[in-house]
């Protein structure tokens, strides 16, 4: 239990079981939200206060509120899973709490005690437990975030007031194609992050600046953008909402955390459990030329993307302004599928959890 005590107000207009079941039959990703949300306010000199679980609903904010103008905002993404025995669990929520605070520090925002972060998730999931899908592979996506709420246009000092919130959304696969291989677009025109910037932070501004490249990816018949380094646009960093792994036989290689990419919790989990599957996993730099040549020679056998929303998603082909190639035969490979099954097995409780990652909520 944290020091803050949460006021709890249940939603008198919560949706009926029939309405909920209709949503859960086909939840999509991030489209429908549950009946409650968590809010906690912060005031400089006072700290965090007015913690509450309350009915989900719109916010009333002054148009001059800082977040609208200067994007002082950070967020997280994690899921609650319904396990076979009926328990509802989260996956490594303390890792999300720690990353959230690293993002807050970079954006000059107040850190939230890790135990408050975890308690806020627990309260929301317990209140809305009936919204946690029972369909295999579906889950309740949790979105904690903090926004700067000070009213005023000055930029001489960061906001002195903030609001932390958590909302939840039942979700199916992030990619409509489920576990089919995706096609990725090499962004050589735009840059996501440069050293000293906010690449390692999960802040809204990173995603705002990425939409133009994501739109370009879609216009080129691709599902997602691949970001490259800021200087040469040659070294692979990550994708729009997930990290990348290159498979060389039984060796997994993922780009190193140089400060410009997000330290994915799925990425870290795969680096850790690879040895349990008899695979080696390590960090290593890779250029787009090495990627293309490795696929042509057969040295790179598979590539996959990983993240909370994407789970483990095979990458089947790559397209850039001046090149295009297929990875393997373009279909999901066996190593990718083993890694995916292991991750889902730990999350849904059908495999052992030797690293102690599963956090029971109720
Ligand atoms: N990279 C970016 C840019 C992301 O938005 C995400 C998703 O959160 C990831 C990587 C994967 O991180 P995680 O595995 O913690 O979900
Ligand atoms: C996640 O995987 O949690 C993400 O945040 C990816 C994307 C939806 C932004």
Model pLDDT for residues 86-99, shown as the tens digit of each residue: 999 999 999 999 99
Residue of 77, 224, 227 to mutate, ligand 1, most atoms within 8 A of C-beta: 77
Which CATH number fits the domain 182-346, given the four candidates 3.20.10.10, 1.10.357.10, 2.160.10.10, 3.30.470.10? 3.20.10.10
Residue of 121, 173, 308 to mutate, ligand 2, most atoms within 8 A of C-beta: 308
pLDDT > 60? residue 238: yes
263: left (phi over 0), alpha (psi -120 to 50) or beta: beta
In the reported structure, the alpha carbon of residue 18 is separated from the centroid of ligand 1 by a whole-number distance in angstroms of 33
> What mean pLDDT is predicted for residues 137-155?
96
- Give me the residue label for tokens 């409509």: 176
In the prediction, which pLDDT does 302 show? 98
CATH class of the region 7-171: alpha beta
Helices and strands of the chain, counted as H and E runs: 9, 18
Report the distance separating Cα 167 and Cα 32, nearest Å: 10
Domain(s) labelled CATH 3.20.10.10 in the chain stretch across: 182-346
In the prediction, which pLDDT does 202 show? 98
Ligand closest in space to the Cα of 242: 1
Ligand 1 atom with least separation from CA of 206? 3
Ligand closest in space to the Cα of 173: 2
In the prediction, which pLDDT does 179 show? 83
- Ligand 1 neighbour 262 (Cβ under 6 A): yes
pTM of this prediction? 0.97
Q: What is the mean pLDDT of the chain?
A: 96
> What mean pLDDT is predicted for residues 81-90?
95
> What mean pLDDT is predicted for residues 299-326?
97
Report the distance separating Cα 110 and Cα 99, nearest Å: 13
- Ligand 1 neighbour 332 (Cβ under 6 A): no
pLDDT band at 136 (very low <50, low <70, confident <90, very high): confident
Report the distance separating Cα 115 and Cα 3, nearest Å: 9
CB 292 within 8 A of CB 323: yes
Write the pLDDT tens digit of every residue in 258-269: 999 999 999 999
pLDDT > 70? residue 2: no
Residue of 78, 184, 264 to mutate, ligand 1, most atoms within 8 A of C-beta: 264
CB 193 within 8 A of CB 202: no
pLDDT > 70? residue 176: no
Count Cα neighbours of 111 within 13 Å in the Cβ-side half-sphere. Answer: 13
Torsion sign (Cα): 97, 275, 86, 28: positive
In the reported structure, the alpha carbon of residue 71 is separated from the centroid of ligand 1 by a whole-number distance in angstroms of 19
pLDDT band at 37 (very low <50, low <70, confident <90, very high): very high
Ligand 1 atom with least separation from CA of 210? 3
- Ligand 1 neighbour 113 (Cβ under 6 A): no
- Ligand 2 neighbour 170 (Cβ under 6 A): no
> What mean pLDDT is predicted for residues 27-35?
95
In the reported structure, the alpha carbon of residue 127 is separated from the centroid of ligand 2 by a whole-number distance in angstroms of 23
In the prediction, which pLDDT does 174 show? 73
In the reported structure, the alpha carbon of residue 183 is separated from the centroid of ligand 2 by a whole-number distance in angstroms of 18
> What mean pLDDT is predicted for residues 314-333?
97
pLDDT > 60? residue 163: yes
Count Cα neighbours of 211 within 13 Å in the Cβ-side half-sphere. Answer: 4
Ligand 2 atom with least separation from CA of 202? 5
Domain(s) labelled CATH 3.30.470.10 in the chain stretch across: 7-171
In the prediction, which pLDDT does 178 show? 64
- Ligand 1 neighbour 265 (Cβ under 6 A): yes
Ligand closest in space to the Cα of 243: 1
Contacts of 338 (CB under 8 A, 6+ apart): 277
pLDDT > 70? residue 9: yes
């Amino acid at each position: 239990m944290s020091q803050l005590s949460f006021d709890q107000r249940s939603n008198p207009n919560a949706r009926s079981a029939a309405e909920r079941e209709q949503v859960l039959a086909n939840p999509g990703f991030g489209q429908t939200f549950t009946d409650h949300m968590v809010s906690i306010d912060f005031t400089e000199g006072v700290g965090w206060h007015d913690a509450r679980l309350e009915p989900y609903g719109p916010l009333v904010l002054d148009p001059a509120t800082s977040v609208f103008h200067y994007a002082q905002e950070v967020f997280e993404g994690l899921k609650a899973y319904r396990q076979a025995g009926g328990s509802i669990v989260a996956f490594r929520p303390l890792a999300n709490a720690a990353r959230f605070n690293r993002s807050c520090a970079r954006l000059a925002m107040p850190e939230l005690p890790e135990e408050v972060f975890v308690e806020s998730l627990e309260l929301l999931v317990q209140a809305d437990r009936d919204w946690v899908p029972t369909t295999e592979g579906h889950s309740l996506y949790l979105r904690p975030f903090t926004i700067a709420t000070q009213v005023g246009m000055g930029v001489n000092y960061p906001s002195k007031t903030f609001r932390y919130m958590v909302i939840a959304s039942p979700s199916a696969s992030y990619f409509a194609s489920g576990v089919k291989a995706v096609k990725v677009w090499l962004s050589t025109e735009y840059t996501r992050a440069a050293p000293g910037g906010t690449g390692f932070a999960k802040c809204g501004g990173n995603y705002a600046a990425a939409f133009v490249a994501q739109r370009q990816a879609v216009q080129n018949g691709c599902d997602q953008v691949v970001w490259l380094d800021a200087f040469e646009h040659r070294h692979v960093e990550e994708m729009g909402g997930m990290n990348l792994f290159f498979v060389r036989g039984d060796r997994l290689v993922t780009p190193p955390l140089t400060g410009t990419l997000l330290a994915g919790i799925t990425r870290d989990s795969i680096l850790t459990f690879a040895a349990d599957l008899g695979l080696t996993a390590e960090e290593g730099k890779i250029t787009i030329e090495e990627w293309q040549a490795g696929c042509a020679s057969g040295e790179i056998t598979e590539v996959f993307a990983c993240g909370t929303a994407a789970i483990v998603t095979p990458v089947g082909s790559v397209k850039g302004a001046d090149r295009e190639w297929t990875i393997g035969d373009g279909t999901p490979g066996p190593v990718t599928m083993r890694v995916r099954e292991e991750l889902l097995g730990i999350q849904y409780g059908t495999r052992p959890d030797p690293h102690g990652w599963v956090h029971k909520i109720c």
